[in-house]
A and B are shown apart, each in its own frame.
Chain A
């Protein structure tokens, strides 16, 4: 694996939370490298540190200690606003609860990252439209989230995550709120995106969902417990 292919490089990543008198170590020195076009699932029981891992990788949180290089840039010491720009350009989030703006149309939801990237309105609409078509929602662009099914909402979220051509698609329990049929559909979308060259990182506690990934990293007590290539690879 050549260094240019590495998208994420994490060294000794530590994240501590101070609660009243005691200090809780959510991440205790994680080392991890993820290359371009990998499809990785991060697994672990609750309290294993996988949510913290996801927040740090997603640049929503900064580590207490350790290094985090994203696409060759050290992001572990950045300010809030710098991180916001990194999130805008490099990361596409897909959340368990979709996290769409309820009063905005699918189109407007997908446009949001482009608004913060400063893209011109006409350009924005065109790109958002294309992203929605890519996830099969070309005919639902002007629907509001409450007029869409759970699977469709998650597709809108995926379109929003993709619209800025991010380095990584970061999904946090993407099927947690969906029934099994719809979950399979969403997994099929992920597989498809991966085939098209997208790097996908997925945090989940469900083994059958993690089985869709090509590599499964398991965390336990804030450390990497196992890191293995899955049967899908």
Chain B
């Protein structure tokens, strides 16, 4: 019997036994739904971590020299935390010395950040991230200016009270009016808006467009950090190799300045996107390792259910098998009829699973900040696994059907 014919027959049988089929596919359905949904969410997180999180917050080929890591990956014990806060801060002189020690081509910027209120003619924007930075900051952080201009080296040196603001902050404070040239007060001191950064979107549901950047020596430095201190020196190089060299040189320069003995640990942190990505890769691995286990449990259960349903079908349809055999069906015709039927049942379950899995991913995507990207391979694996389970579960019932004796089967009452 041609395959097409067999599938059509199987679909017909499934259609006449809708309820039975519905129950029998639950296992496979759950397994595949789970597979698609989890893979989609993990995959989405993955894209996000690599493209947005690491890229946006830490930058490619970039390191941050800080007192302690900004992104704590792994467990931070209270002792670790206590030792971190006892560390000396990064001072202007440290930053200058480290920059001077790096011989590979690079650009560098200072960054100090605090949260503050911004006020424009009585309108107040609370809890805004205010960063005091040097002029290369925009370049390093990849923040293109949409309107106006960034501040210059002269303005940084002079501590000019100028601001480059995020798109959403501008909308909020000025309600659609052109922000350029307007005066905003931070802690009573007026700053002039000279630039607006292009829209950055959001990360895990948090807007990346609510910030203000001012010059490193602007009056704001008094509240972002104690005198002479920066949060971070950011260094960006042209390649991974140059970054490695720069990190080694920066580390050596800092250890010399801090007069650390070889046995002593660094009293500072050099943070790169790699560290964060490594951590993410570890989580990713754990998820991806647990996934096959969870999926296979439900598929095994699903397979057993399908096998039972098929055994039932064989005994219910013994007479039909006898009739078919008397009309010339060979063993392999009966075998393939039941195999196709069990794998079709299973594939139907898997397809519904794929559909629901995709829907779940879309719902997660739409209603939570968690991004979900469907991995095409997971659909193929889902349907393949589903049909495979059906074939394996169908082998025993189908071979029993194929071996039935036509005379005895036709004698069976239905």
Contact = CB atoms under 8 A, between A and B. Distances in A.
Query: Are A and B associated in one complex?
Result: yes
Interface of A: 55, 58, 60-61, 80-81, 84-85, 87-89, 93, 95, 99-103, 112-113, 115-118, 121, 160, 164
A116 B410 contact: no
Given A81-B332, A101-B320, A103-B16, A112 B327 contact: yes
A113 B407 contact: no
B326 A60 contact: yes
B406 interface: yes
B5 interface: yes
B188 interface: no
B324 interface: yes
Contact of A88 (B322, B323, B327, B407): B327
14 contacts: A58-B326, A60-B326, A81-B332, A87-B325, A88-B327, A99-B322, A99-B323, A100-B323, A101-B323, A102-B414, A112-B324, A116-B327, A116-B333, A117-B328
Nearest to A100: B323
Nearest to B333: A116
Interface of B: 1-2, 5, 12, 16, 319-320, 322-333, 406-407, 410, 414
A84 B325 contact: yes
B16 A95 contact: no
A160 B327 contact: yes
B336 to A, nearest CB: 12
B410 to A, nearest CB: 6
B331 A89 contact: no
B1 A116 contact: yes
Given A81-B332, A103-B16, A113 B327 contact: yes
A60 B322 CA distance: 10
Given A101-B320, A115-B5, A84 B328 contact: yes
Contacts of B407: 55, 60-61
Contact of B328 (A85, A99, A100, A103): A85
Q: Give the dominant DSSP class at A's interface.
A: helix
Nearest to A121: B5
Contact of A89 (B5, B328, B333, B406): B328
Contacts of B327: 87-88, 93, 112-113, 116, 160
A61 B324 CA distance: 15
B328 A87 contact: yes
Contacts of B1: 115-116
A168 to B, nearest CB: 14
A84 B329 contact: yes
B332 A116 contact: no
A27 B1 CA distance: 35
Given A81-B332, A101-B323, A121-B5, 13 more contacts: A81-B330, A84-B330, A84-B331, A84-B333, A85-B328, A87-B326, A89-B328, A93-B326, A93-B327, A100-B323, A103-B12, A112-B324, A113-B327
B235 to A, nearest CB: 72
Nearest to B320: A101
**Which of A81, A89, A118, A121 has most chain B Cβ within 10 Å?**
A81
A60 B178 CA distance: 93
A204 B414 CA distance: 24
B326 A99 contact: yes
Contacts of B333: 84, 116
Contacts of A80: 330-331
